[in-house]
Amino acid sequence: MHISEGVLSGPVMMAGAALAVAGTAVGLKKIDYDRIVHVAILSSAFFVASLIHVNLGPSSVHLILNGVVGLLLGWAAFPAIVVALFLQAVFFQYGGITALGVNAVIMALPAVICHYLFSPFLNRGKKAVFTASFLAGSGSVFISCLLLGFALYLTEKSFLEVSLLVITANLPVMIIEGIVTGFCVSFFHKVYPEILPLGRSNP
C-alpha span between 34 and 139 (Å, rounded): 29
In this predicted structure, the answer to whether residue 113 has a pLDDT above a threshold of 70 is: yes
pLDDT at 46: 86
pLDDT at 58: 53
pLDDT at 203: 38
Higher pLDDT, 135 or 172: 135
Q: How far is CA 70 from CA 18, 28, 125, 154, in A?
A: 20, 14, 20, 26
In this predicted structure, the answer to whether residue 202 has a pLDDT above a threshold of 50 is: no
Is residue 92 within 8 A of residue 47, CB to CB? The reply is no
Exposure letters 131-155 (e unless 16+ CB within 10 A, then b)? bbbbbbbbbbbbbbbebbbebbbeb
Is residue 144 within 8 A of residue 66, CB to CB? The reply is yes
Is residue 85 within 8 A of residue 103, CB to CB? The reply is yes
Mean pLDDT across the chain? 85
Instruction: Kindly state the average pLDDT of the residues 109-121.
Output: 94
Instruction: Kindly state the average pLDDT of the residues 153-159.
Output: 79
- Altogether, the residues listed in the chain come to a count of 203
Query: What does the DSSP 8-state code read for residue 125?
Result: -
| The overall pTM is greater than 0.95 | no
pLDDT at 33: 80
pLDDT band for position 178 (cuts 50, 70, 90): very high
> For 45-54, 63-72, 112-121, 178-187, which range has the lowest pLDDT when averaged over its residues?
45-54
Exposed / middle / buried, residue 182 (Cβ in 10 Å: 0-12, 13-18, 19+) = buried
Coil vs helix vs strand at 61: strand
C-alpha span between 95 and 99 (Å, rounded): 6
User: 76: closest CA among 132, 33, 120, 122?
Assistant: 33
Alpha helices in 100-200 (DSSP H): 100-118, 126-155, 160-169, 171-191
In this predicted structure, the answer to whether residue 173 has a pLDDT above a threshold of 90 is: no
CATH class of 10-195: mainly alpha
C-alpha span between 93 and 142 (Å, rounded): 24
pLDDT in tens, 16-56: 999 999 999 999 998 888 888 889 988 988 888 777 665 55
Exposure letters 20-41 (e unless 16+ CB within 10 A, then b)? beebbebbeeebeeebeebbee
